Amino acid sequence: MADLKVNIGALSLKNPVMTASGTFGYGEEFADFIDLSRLGGVIVKGTTLHHREGNPYPRMAETPAGMLNAVGLQNKGVDYFIEHIYPRIKDIDTHFLVNVSGASVEDYVATAEKIAALNRIPAIELNISCPNVKEGGMAFGTSCKSAAAVVRAVREAYPKTLIVKLSPNVTDITEIARAVEAEGADAVSLINTLLGMAIDAQRRRPVLSTVTGGLSGACVKPIALRMVWQTYHAVKIPIVGLGGIMNATDAIEFLLAGASAIEVGTANFIDPQISEKIVSGIDEYLDKNHISSVKELIGGLII
């Protein structure tokens, strides 16, 4: 059995496999299917300062090898999370990270401060990359200046591990990564969904209520891998890689490209047990190749 432990800044994970925000609820939804304690971490649904109803239905369109979503950060707000959800999940033996989003810098800061007070939440993933909200979200993550401003403000208010989730909908993701690194981010996670669109030709109308939405699933993997690899060569902080990871081999590819940990997202919808299978699959790969620690894979791409 190889050593599966990895580090994201000060945060130590028992293995590199986490579940991506918005694809795994609060973990509880999958407790019938897997042993949550076998995961490196669970990143819970995007949380905002206030309750959000999200976008109108329809919010989803299937695509070849993927799907578009336009959920729009539906959640009951950070206070509801603290009062009702946190007590239910805090004793599960894995790391729960909270994905934090907001419509203004002040919102991000206020939400992060509230989460900082929770003993069992060791890190947040700052979502500056949601493509499905009118205000905030991706607007912060598509310019170096605004990304830096929000990370600077949250960094001052949040002492634990700060992971910043980046948008692929930019000209050069490495510039944004460098900008948030300079403001004290402990890590970056990438990629959030790619902005896409679906049309119903019969009705001559968009499929999604918001016209555009975020593309995820197997189809985005090559883009995500490329961006992780580029970012790995641009920053010194650890990278959490995600985007189209459907199995253990995909996960290993992200580690080789430079990710210190990975997130499994849309694949949870097709196989609710896939996250645990990926943990086992990485372990088997290491044993088979006589590699003693998964850390040896990180950035281990041979060119």
Partner 1 sequence: MKKYVLDFRITENVKLHDNYALLKLTPADGQPLPEMLPGQFVEVRVDRSPSTFLRRPISINFVDYTQNELWLLIRIAGEGTRTLCGMQAGEILNLVLPLGSTFTLPENPTEKLLLVGGGVGIAPMLYWGKYLKEKGYTPHFLLGFRSDKDLLQYDQFCQLGEVSISTEDGSRGEKGFVTQHSILEQHFDRLYVCGPKPMMVAVARYAREHGLFCEVSLENTMACGVGACLCCVEDTVEGHVCVCKEGPIFNIEKLKWQI
Which residues are identified as catalytic? 130
Please, which residue, 74 or 146, has the CB nearer to partner 1? 74
Q: Dihedral of the CA atoms 178, 183, 189, 195 (nearest 10)?
A: -70
DSSP state of 125: E
* Backbone phi and psi for residue 114, each to the nearest 5 degrees, phi listed first: -65, -40
Site for partner 1 contains 217 (CB under 8 A): yes
Q: How far is the CB of 96 from partner 1 (least distance, A)?
A: 15
- Which residues 112-141 are close enough to bind partner 1 by CB under 8 A? none
210: contact with partner 1 by CB under 8 A = no
Which one of residues 271, 283, 296, 301 is an interface residue with partner 1 (CB under 8 A)? 271
Region of 295 on the Ramachandran plot (φ > 0 left; ψ -120 to 50 alpha; else beta): alpha
Cα separation of 71 and 208, whole Å? 10
Least CB distance to partner 1 at residue 8 (A): 23
Task: Give me 70's structure tokens.
Answer: 């336009």
Select from 9, 35, 74, 104 the one that contacts partner 1 (CB under 8 A): 74
Closer CB to partner 1, residue 171 or residue 202? Answer: 202
User: Could you tell me the smallest distance in angstroms from the CB atom of residue 226 to partner 1?
Assistant: 21
- 65 interacts with partner 1 by CB under 8 A: yes
Question: With CB under 8 A as the contact rule, which of the stretches 4-12, 163-171, 253-261, 263-271 interacts with partner 1?
Answer: 263-271
200 touches partner 1 (CB under 8 A):
no
Alpha carbon distance 192, 166 (integer Å): 6
Stretch (H or E) spanning 105: helix 105-116
Q: Print the binding letters for residues 273-302 with partner 1: x by CB under 8 A, - otherwise.
A: x-----------------------------
Note whether 67 binds partner 1 by CB under 8 A.
yes
- Whole-angstrom Cα distance, residue 100 to residue 90? 18
Maximum CA pair distance of the chain? 56
Binders of partner 1 among residues 15 to 44 (CB under 8 A) are 22-25, 29-30, 32-33
State which of residues 17, 41, 59, 256 lies at the interface with partner 1 (CB under 8 A): 59
Q: What angle do CA 247, 251, 252 make, to 5 degrees?
A: 120
Residue holding tokens 């791409």?
Answer: 301
Question: Does residue 64 touch partner 1 according to CB under 8 A?
Answer: yes
H helix runs in 172-234, sequence order: 173-182, 221-232
- Per CB under 8 A, the list member of 10, 12, 37, 62 interacting with partner 1 is 62
C-alpha pair distances (Å), 31 with each of 84, 202, 262, 279:
17, 40, 20, 16
**53 is an interface residue for partner 1 by CB under 8 A:** yes
Candidates 87, 72, 79; CA nearest to 26 is: 87
Which parts of this chain interact with partner 1 (CB under 8 A)?
22-25, 29-30, 32-33, 45, 53-54, 56-67, 69, 71, 74, 217-218, 266, 268-273
